[in-house]
Amino acid sequence: MDFISILIDWAPYLLTGVFITLGLTAAGLGIGIIMGLPMAIGQVYSTGNWWLDKIIKSFIAVFVWFFRGLPILVLLFLFYFGIFPAIGMGSLAPFFVGAIVLGLRGAAYQSQIFRGAIQSINEGQMTAARSLGMTKLSAIKNIILPQSFRIALPGWSNEYPNILTDSAVCYAIGVAELLTRSSQIVSQTYEASIYFVCAGIFIILNYAGMKGLLALENRIAVPGFSGSGEDNQVFL
């Protein structure tokens, strides 16, 4: 069987893999932002209670150190074979384990992006908001976060290609994503150049996603806010 007909035969199978890969990536970005943003706020602002602050800040610091310091492969093994079975969730499908690990790891990385952005905002912004009678929470929500989002977006956009390419390591725990499916096709058809097709799909997903994020950046751009720039274009 020649390469083209193999490709046509297996196209639906590969395409399903694309959706699973995108699902993993979305989980990594989504859990990352949902957890990473509160973590960043927790690292920068204090509650006023010394002990509570100490506990929150140390917990976040350890979390970040752990998830950033370990290879993704080790994290996947640890959670899939170790932690989840130990807490009685051994039957959790590999996809969800992969999604959760990518998400927790994403949160560790993204919290630091948001933290940097929040800290880069001039103190006067908070003072001015408080001087108008806003509560601390309202000032964070209405003034600090909208600004941090714009500042963080270029760095945050770079998380997309990182998570997308890292999601392929979920192969190691048997998630049926793009790379896993490609390798299954290879082992059934002995056509190893399928891997080039797989690479092409990853590169297209990467490029299309970054274009989308760049468009988003320009959409919410505010004059005088450095956000977009050449450096944010992945490939250029």
Partner 1 sequence: MDNLTFIAEILLPALLTGLVVTIQLIVVSAPFGILAGIGVAVGRTYGGKIPSFLCKVFVMFVKGCPLLLLLFILYFTLPSIGITFTAFQASVIGFIMCNAAYNSEYIRGAIKSVKEGQIIAARSLGMTKYQSIFYIVLPQALRRAIPGLSNEFIYLIKYSSLAFMLTLVELTGAGKLIATKYFTYTETFIFVGAIYLVLVTITTIGAGMIEKKYAIPGAQGR
Partner 2 sequence: MSDEEYILRVEDIHKKYGNSEVLKGVSFNVKKGETLVFIGPSGTGKSTLLRCINQLTVPEQGNVYLRDEEVTNSGAGINYFRQKIGMVFQNFCLFDHLSAVRNVEIALIKVRGMKPEEAREKALYELRQVGMEEWAEHYPAELSGGQAQRVSIARALAMDPDVILFDEPTSALDPELTREVLEVMKKLAQAGMTMLVVTHEMGFACNVANRILFMENGKIVEEGSPTDLLENNESSRTRQFVGGLVMGED
Q: Which residues bind partner 2 (CB under 8 A)?
A: 122, 124-125, 127-135, 138, 142-143, 146-147, 150, 222-225
| Burial class (CB within 10 angstroms; exposed 0-12, middle 13-18, buried 19+) of 232 | middle
- Count the alpha carbons within 13 Å of 229 in the hemisphere toward its beta carbon: 9
Q: Which residues have C-beta within 8 Å of that of residue 62, sequence separation ≥ 6?
A: none
195 binds partner 1 (CB under 8 A): yes
Torsions phi, psi for 140 (to 5 deg): -60, -45
Query: According to the binding rule CB under 8 A, does residue 97 interact with partner 1?
Result: no
For the record, the structure tokens of 25 come out as 């990536």
Which of 7, 18, 70, 134 touches partner 1 (CB under 8 A)? 70
Q: Which residue type, as a one-letter code, is found at position 196?
A: F
By beta-carbon proximity to partner 2, the closer residue of 46 and 147 is: 147
Task: Determine, following the binding rule CB under 8 A, whether residue 18 of this chain makes contact with partner 1.
Answer: no
Task: Kindly tell me which residue out of 16, 184, 206, 232 binds partner 1, with binding defined by CB under 8 A.
Answer: 206
Instruction: Residue 118: count other Cβ atoms within 10 Å of its Cβ.
Output: 21
Q: Residues interacting with partner 1, by CB under 8 A?
A: 65-66, 69-75, 77-78, 81-83, 85-86, 161, 164-169, 171-172, 179, 182-183, 186, 192-193, 195-196, 198-199, 202-203, 206-207, 231, 234-236
